[in-house]
Amino acid sequence: MKFIFLGSGTAFTIGANNYHSNVLLINDDNKKLLIDCGSDARHALYELKLSYKDITDVYISHLHADHMGGLEWLGFNRKFDEQCDKPKLYIAESLIHDLWSKSLSGSMESLEGELCNLNTYFDPISIKENETFHWDGIEFRVVQTAHVMNGFTLAPCHGLFFKANKTQVYYTADTQFCPQLLMRFYNEADIIFHDCETATQQSGVHAHFNDLISLPDSIKNKMWLYHYNPGHLPDAKEHGFLGFVKKGQVFTF
């Protein structure tokens, strides 16, 4: 089983040196699950000689464009290619309404002679709070993160915890530094892929490298860092981490 980072950058990654932090999980039968589909996804897939035709299953962690901005491209292309079926869309129940009404409907609701909805383009598989979903025999546990709090509501964002063959994998998606919330998953995982901001000016909505270095060595030495900003990076290995994930890096389980 392969876990391929199509990109490892933030929403503000510039050019082809890196792309948004989206991941392609490929099982031993060459079936593919796209974990997030950001605006850069089509370019990143093209570099791997893949296209919309190869993406039959997609999971969306939250509603920022670097994680779901490519769904219009995927939905339109597969709908108007008679060789393609609707892709399965795995998504938390709390996100489905806003995904369509606030993100996709503006461009995808109207076709010639047809008023559309999310089901026109995708086969949504709703994941209830605190439940799991299954893809090709793998059970994925969705893990709520604390990404953005607007002063009234915590905007939904869910990472993934799953077992790939014998390896327990924790993929945080976007999250603030909140070890009190995530330590259980840090401890259970064999390998961790963690959101990591590296900008001088901290946004407050991503775990920053300067915070992550305070974690115990037993956690850091199984942690890869991704979703980092363009520019100079600190020495991750010197601080006990496995390193910064590079665009196109492949992890095999």
Confidence of residue 172 (pLDDT cuts 50, 70, 90): very high
pLDDT number for residue 69:
98
pLDDT at res. 129? 87
Contact 37, 70 (CB under 8 A): yes
| Each residue's pLDDT tens digit, 64-115 | 999 999 999 999 999 999 999 999 999 999 999 999 999 999 999 999 999 9
Task: Give the per-residue pLDDT at 45.
Answer: 98
Query: What is the predicted pLDDT for the residue at 40?
Result: 95
Read off the tokens for 239: 């601080």
Span 202-218, pLDDT tens digits: 999 999 999 999 999 99
The CA distance from 60 to 91, in Å, is 5
pLDDT averaged over every residue in the chain: 97
Question: What confidence tier does 15 reach under pLDDT thresholds 50, 70, 90?
Answer: confident
Provide DSSP, 6-36: S--B-TT--GGG--BS-EEEE-TT--EEEE-
> CB 211: neighbour CB atoms within 10 A?
16
* Model pLDDT, residue 16: 81
Q: Measured between alpha carbons, how far is residue 115 from residues 27, 107, 109 in Å?
A: 36, 11, 6
Residues 238, 167: Cα–Cα separation, whole Å: 25
Domain range list for the chain? 2-252
User: Which homologous superfamily is 2-252 in?
Assistant: Ribonuclease Z/Hydroxyacylglutathione hydrolase-like (3.60.15.10)
User: What pTM does this model have?
Assistant: 0.97
* pLDDT at site 174: 98
